[in-house]
Structure 1
Amino acid sequence: MRGLVVGLAGVGLSMTYSILNFANFSHGDYLTSGAFSGWAVTYLIAGYGNANIGSLLLVGAGGSVFGGALSVGIVTSPLAVIVGALVAGASTIVLSLVIDRFVYKPIRDESGIALLITSVGVAFALRYLMQFVFGPGVRGTTDAGSQPEWSLLFIDGTVFVHAHDITLLVVAVSLMLGVHFLLQRTKLGKAMRAMSDNEDLARVTGIPTERVIRSTWIIGGGLTGIAGYMFVLWKGTLGFNDGWLLLLLVFAAVILGGIGSIYGAIAGGIIIGLTASTSVIWIPSAFGRAAAFLVMITILLFKPQGIFSGRSTA
């Protein structure tokens, strides 16, 4: 499940890198902003009439209201969750387009280092703006106890599958398949692949590069916002630095899969997520991230360009 979130978030990061050619360090805070906006709407729908509207829109800041008390979950309040996920994607699209228009676009012709440093500044600005608005506390978001759970019997034991696990699986796989169809079967996808391979040649052949860039932010932003929302739905808590803590794993997934490869980001995300989660069987949980990076380094020693050998968007 963790790998699916990392992979889905990695697709958006890989798309912006392969087409805009810079590492966007504000990507993690796009995840968090999408999560907060989506969960604000989820709380509002699930708790309307039962709690103060301000507390609902602030996602229970300061312990004013709790997701468990509102019975928030995919089974108990499906409409609230579905609308929240859609709002998370839409709000992140708007945020990414606004930041690109007023921050990145004026310096797009500068070096990649200038864009990278600027993205770090954007990340800090977004993170502490969210802390100021929603508060620094980590709050529970779902009523996990009232959601159904199924047991799968194996030779070595029993695995319990939660309704939110299934939701994350369906959403992540559907969106990944959608990206595959877009890249391989649509005119926009072909234009994106062409621009990723050679931007100058794409301009000469008449491809509307500015439209492709805008579409990249729309698709990447939507995937990132929904990934942030689904991550919170799955783990059941929300904090202002969730995306920042996930960002290094997302970067590791993109590098492991092959920088610029969409499919590599998906594969890398699943490997990184599995490693970070299963390594705690043998080592303390605090070292789970370190184990994920160790696996990344080991694989890169044998395939320096990543699993997909540095293939571009396709």
Structure 2
Amino acid sequence: MTLTARNPLRWIVLALVAFTAAAALLLTSGTAAFAASAPDTPGGDQEATDYYFGGVITFEEKPVPDVTVSVKGGGFDAETVTDAEGKWRLYVPDKDTYTLTIDEDTLPDGVIVDPSQLPEGLQPVQGTTGSFEVEFGLTKTKIVNLFLGAGERVTQSFGDQLLVRLVNGLNFGLLLALAAMGAALIYGTTGLSNFAHGEMVTWGALLTLLFSTVWQLPLWAGILAAVLGGAALGLALDAALWRPLRRRGLGVVQLMIVSIGLSLALRYTFQFFAGGATSQLPGSSPTPIEFGPISLSYIDLISMGVSIVVILGVAYFLLRTRIGKATRAISDNPQLASASGINVDRVIRIVWIIAGVLAAISGVLWAYFRPGVRWDMGTQMLLLIFAAITLGGLGTAFGALLGSLIVGIVVETSTMWIPSDLKYAGALVVLIIILLVRPQGLLGRKERLG
């Protein structure tokens, strides 16, 4: 399979990325401008629910306006701004434990959140200032009145902030690499850009949730079910859909359109059965462990460890096993591989199984990294998966690994200079710049990609 650097698919992906980046910049800049001013009434900038946090922020018994307050937990996040009377309100979807954060950059000079005057029920989040854990009791409202104090604001140095974001970016990049390497193997052996790969990621998280939370089985049983279910989904998709379509000789664009339709069908099937709410896996959001300026939970450490072990396993498979070498041969030239006696259909079937397993594991880790399982969670990763594959070089698993690490680190470190709402758009802008300089990707070749 020879694919030149002028492959139209590459420019389709590049145009899609450019459009999404531009749209994200416009939407998030508009959102930021809206959030900068207080609503007419507390909570008037949000969709009202039965549950909300509210209160007044004061300093020396005087209200403090225009302070940004945010809430996060259970896969949900929102923010608002205090009005002229210092009042604020944040609606949440259900009773749960949430983290409230006061953006200290929006406080007047010389004013800080005074830990000694915290109301009952607020627990400071270790390693942060202005962030507190708070849990709903029996009522549907939680009043949190904050009294500010005078003092010097304690901030991390630039080096410490950079180190923290690099570690977070590495964690994110590793779990992204699991999904991206599977999608790259599929593309390399079949030429298919699988837009349903995001739903394969969601499938793993949903199976873990079903077994460990809904059916109350041990977490290891849920993870095992996700791995086996991911393999089964990959096998079923190839046997029931992609293999018959390949034999009918459908072109790349036709297959891509079918994958888009499959993505929509799977996504809304998940919504029908799982609902639109965000659910948590057991043990999500644990207390972080301090390593100097870096705060990591034991789940973060396990996630990085599992990702590295699985990636090394895939590398061994591709470089040392007969099936892996056959996979690389098919990626280079399927006709020559078939003439050499390689069972192309059998190798592609194995690739789909491996891709399903990698996507399922990535889905479980993603559910812990961005706490919560949702019916559309894989869709949030899909464009970043394609960005990583295109950045590293289409059709090469190791290029997808390199691209994922770059995307992960850029996404997390970019928040030091740009608003966090723009971090994904920032990664896509980097992708566009690199492809303008090197269209074949970092590890791709001009003669052929794979």
2:187 paired residue number: 17
Asked whether 1:115 is paired with 2:255, we answer yes
Larger radius of gyration: 2
2:140 paired residue number: none
8 Å CA contact 2:207, 2:225 repeated in 1: yes
1:150 paired residue number: 289
8 Å CA contact 1:264, 1:308 repeated in 2: yes
- Report which stretch shifted further, 82-91 or 288-297: 82-91
Q: Identify unmatched segments of 5+ residues in structure 2.
A: 1-170
Asked whether 1:273 is paired with 2:408, we answer yes
Q: Distance in 1 between matches of 2:404 and 2:378?
A: 15
8 Å CA contact 1:39, 1:229 repeated in 2: no
Asked whether 1:133 is paired with 2:273, we answer yes
8 Å CA contact 1:142, 1:236 repeated in 2: no
Question: What RMSD, in angstroms, separates the aligned Cα atoms of the two structures?
Answer: 1.6
Aligned length: 276
1:74 paired residue number: none
Q: After superposition, give the CA deviation of every residue in 1:50-94 in whole Å (9 maximum; x if it has no partner).
A: xxxxxxxxxxxxxxxxxxxxxxxxxxxxxx333322221211221
TM-score (norm 1): 0.84
Q: Distance in 1 between matches of 2:279 and 2:232?
A: 25
Q: How does 1:221-236 map to 2 (within 5 A)?
A: 221-236=356-371
8 Å CA contact 1:183, 1:193 repeated in 2: yes
What percentage of aligned pairs have identical amino acids?
Answer: 35
Cα distance change, pair 188–14 in 1 and its aligned pair in 2 (3 A): same
> 1 or 2, which has the higher strand percentage?
2
1:186 paired residue number: 321
Which amino acid is 2:252 matched to?
A: G
Q: Distance in 1 between matches of 2:441 and 2:433?
A: 11
8 Å CA contact 1:86, 1:226 repeated in 2: no
Which structure is richer in relative contact order (CA contacts within 8 A, separation 6 or more)? 1
2:8 paired residue number: none
Q: Distance in 2 between matches of 1:92 and 1:18?
A: 20
SS at 2:361 equivalent: helix
TM-score (norm 2): 0.59
2:300 paired residue number: 165
2:230 paired residue number: 92
Which amino acid is 2:196 matched to?
A: S
Query: How far apart are residue 140 of structure 1 and its match?
Result: 2.8
Which amino acid is 1:5 matched to?
A: L
Q: After superposition, give the CA deviation of every residue in 1:214-251 in whole Å (9 maximum; x if it has no partner).
A: 10111111111111111112322111111011100000
8 Å CA contact 2:330, 2:337 repeated in 1: yes
Q: After superposition, give the CA deviation of every residue in 1:178-212 in whole Å (9 maximum; x if it has no partner).
A: 01100111110111111111101111111011110
Query: How far apart are residue 44 of structure 1 and its match?
Result: 5.0
Which amino acid is 1:163 matched to?
A: Y
Q: Distance in 1 between matches of 2:346 and 2:432?
A: 37
SS at 1:238 equivalent: coil
